[in-house]
Amino acid sequence: MTMLELIDTYWLYFLVGQYPDGPLGGLVLTILLSGAALLLAMPLGLLLGIARVSPYRAVNVPVAVLVHVVRAVPLLLVLFWAYFFLPAVTGVKTSQATTMLIVLVLFDSIYLAEIVAAGIRALPRGQLESARSLGLGYGAALRHVVLPQTLRHGLPSIVNQLVSTIKATSLGYIIGLSEVSFIATQINTLVFTQAVEVYLILALTYFILCFGLSRLAFLLERRLQRRPEQAS
């Protein structure tokens, strides 16, 4: 089989796995899982980020410890913990996709928390001060003045986090999730004699997706620098 024949025969399987005859898989699963994880992680990431910059040590320190611990262990290990123990803890047999989603949301919220915290610290103090001197409480000042600016400036970092998440979904392979790397290996097993082509296509797929997104992040960063929004 040539490369073209390969693509022609298996493109649908690569794209959506066994759907509709089975659960969703393939590239579409990878993309949906990553997007959903990042979206779901945003509220938690925001809360944790705000906690990170809190002047109250009772709030700041536990979150800092959580962040350092989560960043010190491999994602795969957390995935194994979740996969082997979540059914025992919740009593429900969670699917691989759900397990992967939960772990990704956890990881993303930790990294988003750092992005949010860094963004809040980088904002000039005068912004918070002027909001507070109008009579807005701390919460209202965060909501209407600090966070809108922080999230806008943090957008390139958030897009980069999406790229990290897409790469992280590949670990689902190890617990049998039918994401795109898993499907590629299935195809390789079926075809057997074209490992190089199959895995080059897999690599190219990831490259287009991830490189495309990181270019977007780069352009967003450039646009932010060219429009100096700061008043002083």
Partner 1 sequence: MIVLDKVNKYYGDYHALVDISERVERNEVLVVCGPSGSGKSTLIRTLNRLEEIDAGRIEIDGRDIHAKGADVNALRAGIGFVFQHFNLFPHLTVLENCTLAPVKLGRATKAEAREVAMGLLEQVGLAHKADAYPNALSGGQQQRVAIARALAMRPPIMLFDEPTSALDPEMVGEVLQVMRTLASQGMTMVCVTHEMGFARDVADRIWFMSEGKILEKATPQDFFANPQHPRAQQFLADHRRD
Partner 2 sequence: MQFFDPAILQSGQYHDWLVQGLVLSIQLTVISFVFALPLGALVAVMRTSTFAPLRAIGATFVEAIRNVPLLAHLLFWYFAFPELLPDAARELLYANNPEVICAVIALSLYAGVHMAEDIRSGIRAIPATQLEAARSLGLGRIAAVRLVLLPQALRASVPPLLSQTVNLWKDTSVATVIGAAELMYQAARVETASFRSLEAFTFATLAYLTVSLLISGAAHLFQRRYPVRTA
Distance CA 82, CA 172 (A): 12
DSSP annotation string for 120-131:
HHHS-HHHHHHH
**73 belongs to the binding site for partner 2 (CB under 8 A):** yes
Phi, psi of 83 (to 5 degrees): -65, -40
Please report, as residue ranges, which positions from 174 to 193 form the binding site for partner 2 (by CB under 8 A).
174, 181, 184-185, 188
Q: Interface mask (CB under 8 A) for partner 1, residues 155-194, using x and -?
A: ----------------------------------------
DSSP string, 62-74: HHHHHHHHHHHS-
Q: 159 with 216: CB under 8 angstroms?
A: yes
Cα distance between residue 118 and residue 210, in whole Å: 24
CB 16 within 8 A of CB 24: yes
In a 13 Å sphere around the CA of 145, the CA atoms on its Cβ side amount to: 20
CB of 193 to partner 2, least distance (A): 8
Q: Binding residue for partner 2 (CB under 8 A) from 4, 57, 58, 72?
A: 72
Does 136 help bind partner 1 (rule: CB under 8 A)?
yes
Out of 144, 215, 222, 223, the residue judged to bind partner 1 by CB under 8 A? 144
Please identify, using beta-carbon distances, which residue of 193 and 232 lies nearer to partner 1. Answer: 232
Q: Which residue from 11, 84, 138, 218 is in contact with partner 2, where contact means CB under 8 A? A: 84
Applying CB under 8 A, does 202 fall inside the site for partner 2?
yes
Q: Which is nearer to partner 2, 2 or 232 (CB)?
A: 2
